[in-house]
Amino acid sequence: MSTTDGHTRQGLVVWASKKHGALLHRALKDLFWLDSQGLSAERSRDEIGFPCYQERDLEDDEKHALSDLFPHPFQHAVHVIQLQGPSLNPHSLLERRLSEWMVEHGGILTSKQRSALPTKWERLGDLVVLNQDAFRGNEWLEAPNGPLGSNNSIWKEVANALGGERLARQAHIMDNALRTPQLELLHGTQSWVDFLDHGVHFGFDASSVMFSSGNVTERHRIGGIPMKGETVVDAYAGAGYYTLPMLVRSGAAHVHACEMNPASIEGLRWAAEKNGVLSNLTVHEGDNQDALPKLAGIADRCHLGLLPSSKAVWSHALACLKPSGGMIHIHMNVEKTKLKSWQSETILQLEGYAKALGRSWLIEIEHLERVKSYSPGVIHIVLDVRCSPR
């Protein structure tokens, strides 16, 4: 690292549109490139740049790695980076607090333990949820009264370092129709969470409800689409991940939320009342194959937020739209190399379903949103499709 003085250095900066800033920050963090001591920079009113540890430009394989995690246009160049002093990011705080805890309990944080510290977690209000492998390796057996021992005061240190008051560890998701999560509560006494995100209140029991924080950019995008006066059908409502932003921020007149998990429905109704939109919500409990046919012809918009695919209800979703047409938002996991062909095939399939329903509609792609990388070579996308009379 070439330091020009005590407060600057040469380093790589990666830029992108501000609307994708949170996603770029997450991608650089996941790649362990993000320099937490460098200051974020603006290049224009619409762009934001994040400093990285590299002193050189990106190699081709590095560009591909970033593209997999951040499927949006970005630029990169080596610049002088302004430093902001010692890092207070959660990774550094976690390492520091665990080091102090180990010393207080007659040990040290070993190099193996440092390298095995968790790099990913979710925050649901004041509850931090670690992944299922966190603190389970053999290296933690070396800790005196450590995570696997009888003295679990260390969990409080982990929770506080990661910005929470409670701590849980994710276990395997149950192989049932509800895809019920299994949560091991490590610090705290109950698993109900409630929090405010982008002006919307959410609440649910994290031990019984799936809630993906990784789709936050799409949740905010849906909440920013004007829906004043519209009737919406949300076919996989969950605890209101998209239902609530459509009611609270988009201004939808009424949302018919279809969901089969009683715990999710409890959270959805609680949050709808908290947000003051309960009177604008109708919950349809049960399987979509039974619920959606009862909503035929009522909707201006249908939302299909199921991964890896919602194809099983595409025909039902088209039938839910009013005869005058409307919008459908289709979530899907698609191989990156097949993205264009998948869009064409999807339109052909929707046209076939519409024809079978006796609807002579023009079906067009209005927007394709690349939400995030789901797995190597696979992207979580949302296809906004408009249906209108010919």
**In the predicted model, is pLDDT for residue 244 greater than 70?**
yes
In-domain check, residue 195: no
**In the predicted model, is pLDDT for residue 53 greater than 50?**
yes
Alpha-carbon distance of 264 to 206, in angstroms, equals: 10
Which residues does 132 contact at the CB level (< 8 Å), separation at least 6?
169, 170, 171, 172
Shared domain check, 71 and 27: yes
Q: Is beta strand 361-375 parallel, antiparallel or unpaired with respect to 378-389?
A: antiparallel
Shared domain check, 302 and 161: no
- The last residue of a domain, from among 50, 82, 114: 82
Shared domain check, 381 and 286: yes
Tokens at residue 18, please? 């501000």
Residue 375's domain comprises 209-389
Q: What is the reported pTM?
A: 0.74
Tokens at residue 288, please? 């979509």
Cβ atoms 244, 271 nearer than 8 A? yes
In-domain check, residue 198: no
pLDDT of residue 364: 97
Q: Provide the 3-class DSSP secondary structure of residue 287.
A: coil
Shared domain check, 323 and 223: yes
Q: Which of 217, 228, 192, 225 is nearest to 207 (CA)?
A: 192
Alpha-carbon distance of 141 to 144, in angstroms, equals: 8
Alpha-carbon distance of 304 to 327, in angstroms, equals: 11
The mean-pLDDT minimum among 87-101, 132-146, 157-171, 181-195 falls in 132-146
In-domain check, residue 186: yes
Read off the pLDDT band of 2 (50, 70, 90): very low
Q: How many residues does the chain have?
A: 390
Read off the pLDDT band of 210 (50, 70, 90): confident
Number of domains into which the chain is organized? 3
pLDDT of residue 174: 53
Shared domain check, 330 and 223: yes
Beta bridge partners of 233: 256, 302
**In the predicted model, is pLDDT for residue 178 greater than 60?**
no
Cβ atoms 138, 127 nearer than 8 A? no
pLDDT of residue 86: 52
User: Which amino acid makes up residue 127?
Assistant: L
Alpha-carbon distance of 108 to 319, in angstroms, equals: 63
- The last residue of a domain, from among 144, 160, 190: 190
The mean-pLDDT minimum among 56-60, 202-206, 253-257, 376-380 falls in 56-60
Shared domain check, 98 and 61: no
Higher pLDDT, 88 or 23: 23
Alpha-carbon distance of 308 to 236, in angstroms, equals: 13
In-domain check, residue 196: no
**What CATH code is carried by the domain that includes residue 100?**
3.30.300.110
In-domain check, residue 43: yes
Tokens at residue 280, please? 């604008």
- The last residue of a domain, from among 132, 159, 190: 190
pLDDT of residue 92: 82
Cβ atoms 48, 75 nearer than 8 A? no
In-domain check, residue 25: yes
**In the predicted model, is pLDDT for residue 1 greater than 50?**
no
pLDDT of residue 84: 61
Question: pLDDT tens digits, residue range 61-115?
Answer: 888 889 988 999 998 988 887 766 555 678 888 888 888 787 677 667 787 888 8
Burial 126-154 (b: 16+ CB within 10 A, else e): ebbbbeeebbeeebbeebeebbeeeeeeb
Q: Which of 266, 310, 259 is nearest to 286 (CA)?
A: 259
Tokens at residue 123, please? 């925050």
Alpha-carbon distance of 54 to 13, in angstroms, equals: 9
**Alpha carbon distances (Å) from 119 to 93, 94, 272:** 12, 10, 33
User: Which amino acid makes up residue 42?
Assistant: E
Shared domain check, 147 and 288: no
Shared domain check, 78 and 7: yes
**What CATH code is carried by the domain that includes residue 62?**
3.30.70.2580
Mean pLDDT of 165-188: 75
Shared domain check, 45 and 17: yes
Shared domain check, 296 and 273: yes
In-domain check, residue 197: no
In-domain check, residue 113: yes
Shared domain check, 289 and 328: yes
**In the predicted model, is pLDDT for residue 240 greater than 60?**
yes
Question: pLDDT tens digits, residue range 254-311?
Answer: 999 999 999 999 999 999 999 999 999 999 999 999 999 999 999 999 999 999 999 9
First to last CA, the chain: 62
Cβ atoms 213, 122 nearer than 8 A? yes
**What CATH code is carried by the domain that includes residue 294?**
3.40.50.150
Shared domain check, 179 and 35: no
